[in-house]
Amino acid sequence: MSEISTRRFAAFGFLRDLASRWDLAAFVVVVGLIAFLGEAARGLFVPLSQLAMAPMSLDPVHLPEYAARTTLRMLAALVVSLVFTLTYATWAAKSERAGKLLVPILDILQSVPILGFISVTYVFFMSLAPGRVIGAEFAAIFAIFTSQAWNMAFSFYQSLRTIATELSEAADSFRLSPWMRFWQLEVPFGLPALVWNMMMSMSGGWFFVVASESISVGRTTVVLPGVGSYIALAIERKNLAAIGWAIATMLLVILIYDQLLFRPLVAWVDRFRVEQEPGVREPQSWALTMMRRSRLIQAAKLAFHAAVLWTSRAAKRTEPPRAAAAGSGRRGDLLWVLLVAAAVALGVRHLVGGMIEQTSTTEALHVCELALLTMLRVFVLIALASLVWVPVGVWVGLRPRVAQFVQPLAQFMAAFPANLLFPIAVYGIVAWKLKPDVWLSPLMILGTQWYILFNVIAGAAALPAELRYASANFGVKGWLWWRRVALPGVLPYYVTGAITASGGSWNAAQVAELVSWGDTKVEAKGLGSYIADAAAAGNFHRIVLGVGVMSLFVVALNRLFWRPLYYYAERKYRLT
């Protein structure tokens, strides 16, 4: 064969390899995602008045466009939540001084209802782009972010606090810089639990998507095209067929992003498990196989690794001497104290002070009474959810094949908005004259009980194989196995999920304690219905009072009950 023929054959082989099925599949997926983003982002900079000129329609033909817009908002909020998690949770876990303030702030933030966030931040986001749709989009994305970020931050914080001692010693032996330690040890160690919480966050966003896409503050109402606003319109018009179409659309969207995003992530992070048990089938994903065999995506992966190494070398060059670092640490302590004092003084002056001046003792006591009723519901519901989902989560987590089938089903159940059950709840309570204070309560836990399930599954999957083999060799079975092996092993993960579920239940009270179907409204006594009424009336004073009391109760519960339980689990059942 001549040299020219050899070159032509080699070139043809290269082109054939480059145009392999995996590269073609990756190309189709990437181009499809770009087209999806372009279609969903169309019209962001048009005036808000055009939304009124093209009102929402219950025709199912519009659902693909609505689903694209909703999914884009949720993915944008998930990216922001991930950045928030990797920065905020790391700061809280690594700095003892900062953690004493940041963790309570996180407790407060997860308890603040979305209606409270919207009422305070809506004007700010609209001022960023006056009269434009993109301002309302920012407000909706931020509202979804507030339903996604807190459990992810708690999960990553818990992972950083429970890193095995031998792994930390290995990182010290290799003299990893703080930057490389973060990417080579801490992020991989926390990824398995974080991915499960990302799935929960994505699904949990559907629970509040109605409130985020149909923004109503006082007399101002902005309805953004999306599945959430479609559901709100269907409820208003009592259209059961439209609700059925919305459920089918949600199921399809969840299956798509499960196949393209979360299943590849679950299969990929399996490599970061502390214990790799031989003979156990790894989670499979066709999308992950495509990414691994595609040269295009592998090139992007190498570029990312090169960027991480470059930033690590840059961080080493700028690392301050120890003496200077000690001096800057003392200055940082002083600056931190001044910032905290200034923030507290500002909050007392502008928020607490004004609320105290306008609040009578009778109203304050009434709000505290409502908070006690909501707290009782939260305690009972968390206890019942724990009894059901802890055993199920342990059973699923120890069986990777079962987890693959449970994963999309659990995502759909977690994404099922309580609003879709309003017809059943209202009809049953009105027809059978039931007590709303009791029968509306299950709606509070509908979207938050899955935090417990997802975290317990992640904890059971992380149990070391040696621990399970040892218990089997010693014949530890039945209740003794649960008491000595399973429950201690998943306790840190369970507490993380229970804290988030508790805070999410307080948040969900605004949706569950005041439900409507058309013109019929059913209300349960509680703090959630108090805040919902205040938001509908545009009464900022009552919103602040309700949110303040809710935050106070949540922080007190976390400080007196959940945090001591968390530190006990972290200290006694940490894998060392």
pLDDT over 70, % of the chain: 76
* Residues of the chain above pLDDT 90, percent: 11
Q: Residue range 97-102: average pLDDT?
A: 79
Q: How confident is the model at residue 218 (pLDDT cuts 50, 70, 90)?
A: low
Q: How confident is the model at residue 85 (pLDDT cuts 50, 70, 90)?
A: very high
Residue 439, φ and ψ in degrees, nearest 5:
-85, -10
pLDDT at 482: 92
Higher pLDDT, 97 or 161: 161
pLDDT at residue 573 in the model: 66
The most confident of the ranges 42-46, 77-81, 506-510 is 77-81
- Per-residue pLDDT tens over the stretch 555-570: 788 888 888 887 887 7
Q: What is the mean pLDDT of residues 128-154?
A: 85
Mean pLDDT of 160-180: 84
Question: Tens digits of per-residue pLDDT, 470-490?
Answer: 888 888 888 899 988 898 889
Q: Is the dihedral of CA 499, 264, 34, 69 positive or negative?
A: negative
Average pLDDT on 526-541 reads 81
Q: Is the pLDDT of residue 536 over 80?
A: no
* 552 vs 386: which has the higher pLDDT: 386
Given a cut of 70, is residue 270 above it in pLDDT?
yes
pTM over cut 0.85: no
Higher pLDDT, 327 or 28: 28
Q: In whole angstroms, how far apart are CA 500 and each of 21, 151, 204, 411, 488?
A: 43, 6, 11, 17, 19
**Residue 261 — very low, low, confident or very high, per pLDDT cuts 50/70/90?**
confident
Across 66-80, 183-197, 319-333, 439-453, least confident range? 319-333
Q: Tell me: the pLDDT tens digits for 194-213? A: 988 898 888 778 777 877 88
User: Nearest 5°: CA angle at 375, between 500 and 555?
Assistant: 55
Q: Between 228 and 86, name the one with better pLDDT.
A: 86
Give the pLDDT band (50/70/90) at residue 335.
low
Structure tokens belonging to residue 56 = 């929402």
Quickly count: other Cβ atoms within 10 Å of residue 7's Cβ: 10
Q: If you average pLDDT over residues 345-352, what whole number do you get?
A: 55
C-alpha to C-alpha distances, 29 to 23, 25, 117, 527, nearest whole angstrom: 10, 6, 36, 46
Choice between 536 and 552, residue whose per-residue pLDDT is larger: 552
Q: Which of 115-124, 166-175, 382-391, 454-463 has the lowest mean pLDDT?
A: 115-124
Per-residue CA distances from 157 to 102, 154, 323, 334, 486 (Å):
11, 5, 29, 25, 22
CB 195 within 8 A of CB 22: no
- 12-56 pLDDT per residue, tens: 444 444 445 556 666 666 666 666 666 656 656 566 666 666 778
